[in-house]
A and B are shown apart, each in its own frame.
Chain A
């Protein structure tokens, strides 16, 4: 192809890239306006804070998913991993018994350690087994899920110590300077994620790996380490999400974290990260997670669609988001 032909394409494409980065924010604004028109209660501080708080788990997990996907991978096991981590964390807290900060800290450490280990398992199998990440994480999704069911003996794992629950409560329900703790947690995670992805050589290596594995290898990028690390980061993000999630209900059930993988991947895709890897947009992902929760919220506030169909709507959103990405890409 001649250079000159590409030249015109280039200008159009540049505009597209801007569009892709901007589109989640535009969608967010459009949704907010739509919500306000549908129900005046929508645009109240309490409702907005509520929506963003509820989106925190998915947003935190999706920040990790942004790393995995930008690096050319995929992790379907996050929902099951969250359930397993929550279950094990509660069981640990229950067995320790005493209601003090040390117990809580130890439980949290166990949660993060376990989820990081789960992520590392995914990463090592994908990297050294050279198996499609789709298959690997589909497998571990089943494994993690049935481990929770087994641990809970089919029932519910509940925090038994009431004092410990009270001690832990503020992590979900509390707020600092009027901002709920989950929102702070998710902003901090996103900020650290953005710093790592955009400003460190590891982040650069993730993007290179996702763009073209061969080029990364021929350029001396330690691709095995980088790939495994993206899954570990995903695991740690799941762990952090669990830390915020557990005090909300104080229990884990076999249905905890169900379809979270769908929501996390949807948030990433809405955010403009390319599913084939090579582009990662942390802030887009965060907005994507908020958009998902907004849609659910609008469905609850309006009476157009039954709120039981939230999953269906979210499923439709990921498909539409992909179609939009495709059409934006076309014409290159």
Chain B
């Protein structure tokens, strides 16, 4: 079939740097076309060019066979090309219906026609198979529902091509599954779908064709038939990725280092109890919103909580992160950009922030020592940066995670809690982070990994504790580790449905 949108030899340069070179691809009606690549491969840039947010430096676009240049995203939308953004771009205090029609309100006699907009919103949401109330304010919705609203907003205009930029990054497996239903429906209606992701299992489950980008270059475009996730990973990274997870360290001992009993975080966690052993990697699984993050923020004093915590047999209570750090426990937030790093500050300032006491001579900061520590961190953690003077916000996701690790390791912790260690991190860096975590356990430290990626928990951890609705639903030991057992505990359903979900995502 003829392509709706065809890109021919698209290149894009920012100043002297070429981020895309000579990309060609065609997007056909009724087809889901996935674009995969590591962070920095040029996926987002390509998508922005196709949806009119950027114009290419070289090459041309053809819409229904005719050459076209978009003057901007609005122009592209007028031609039926819509982009569903990765970030949620909605006004939180407006209702769902008001958001859907923001900037394109239906009017009657010069006044907004709320009734008509509400009706239309209800229709569209029903088409998407959701029962969100058009009159509820967006800030009351879950992240998944917000994303649905965002999709509804995109689909409000007549569309021929819908582009999704990492739509499942913030969704639980079940939520993602209902998103896929929506995407498949679009496909059945003859819409061309462009799907950007670096979750390969997901791509395998949904895409018809896959284009792989690496370093701004087009590596290949292939039918999904016979293209397995492992092969996709190899194409993305350019080397064999069969061994993503290191061997599990054999250092897990019986010696309990941290014991938590009846931990309560009001509104989030009820009576959570667990033990952490020396040299162990303990996983925490569960759906998003199950209370995992809140439990650990409560334990290290970042939010109000009560319960009994004993560290090496001594009863402790932390009022803030500082006290937890002093006791040798560090927590690395899942929200690296919001809670982990000062994006507007230099790498040096970020690196030393938590352990600043180690860098003072008298009352003054020893900048030389800081610089030396930065050299060490760049080397030890393989932080890839073009210049040491960059701001933390200019690093890629993977390198930010390495910097955050380096920052917290300066405190010489005995217990490291890492929340979503590889979120937004490309596959090559993932491998490094896994190896690093295993190395910590080998050195006799104890690591807690909170993750929504089941493969990660299975591949990395000695044991996995699973939470559901603010409670600890159960524990899976090494012998019993499987997606099925985790999904069962996380959702409480042990039907074929759960197995299906697991097969689709992992």
Contacts and interface: CB of A to CB of B under 8 A. Distances in A.
Contact of B14 (A5, A199, A204, A279): A5
Given A5-B14, A5-B19, A214 B338 contact: yes
Interface in B358-415: 359-360, 363-365, 386, 389-391, 393-396, 407
Interface residues of B, number: 50
B17 A222 contact: no
Interface string B184-218: 00000000000000000000000000000000100
B299 to A, nearest CB: 14
Contacts of B55: none
A216 B350 CA distance: 10
B322 interface: yes
Given A2-B40, A201-B356, A218-B333, A211 B340 contact: no
A222 B359 CA distance: 17
Contacts of A7: 14, 17, 386, 394
A296 to B, nearest CB: 34
A256 B251 CA distance: 71
A221 B357 CA distance: 11
Interface string A201-224: 100110110011011111111100
B353 A2 contact: no
B44 interface: yes
Interface in A1-54: 1-11, 14
B56 to A, nearest CB: 14
A10 B356 contact: no
A219 B343 CA distance: 14
A204 B343 CA distance: 15
B45 A5 contact: yes
A279 B346 CA distance: 12
Contacts of A218: 302, 321, 331, 333, 339-340
B325 A278 contact: no
B421 interface: no
B42 interface: yes
A200 interface: yes
A6 B344 contact: no
Given A215-B339, A218-B302, A218-B333, A204 B353 contact: yes
A204 B352 CA distance: 10
A220 B322 CA distance: 4
A2 B321 contact: no
Contacts of B19: 2, 4-5
Nearest to B384: A3
Chain A interface bracket (under 10, 10 to 19, 20 to 34, 35 or more) = 20 to 34
A204 B45 contact: no
A4 B365 contact: no
Contacts of B356: 201, 204-205
Contacts of B179: none
B42 A211 contact: no
A9 B14 CA distance: 8
Nearest to A195: B364
B364 A208 contact: no
Most buried by B among A2, A219, A278: A219
Given A2-B41, A4-B216, A5-B45, A219 B353 contact: yes
Closest 3 CB pairs of A and B: A220-B322, A8-B14, A8-B15
16 contacts: A3-B39, A3-B395, A3-B396, A4-B17, A4-B19, A8-B15, A10-B391, A195-B364, A200-B360, A204-B349, A208-B345, A211-B342, A214-B335, A214-B338, A278-B344, A279-B344
Interface of A: 1-11, 14, 195, 199-201, 204-205, 207-208, 211-212, 214-222, 278-279
Interface of B: 14-17, 19, 39-45, 216, 302, 320-322, 324-325, 331, 333, 335, 338-345, 349, 352-354, 356-357, 359-360, 363-365, 386, 389-391, 393-396, 407
Given A208-B345, A218-B333, A222-B320, 19 more contacts: A2-B41, A2-B44, A3-B39, A4-B40, A6-B393, A8-B16, A9-B394, A201-B360, A208-B349, A212-B338, A215-B339, A216-B353, A217-B302, A217-B320, A220-B321, A220-B325, A222-B322, A278-B342, A278-B344
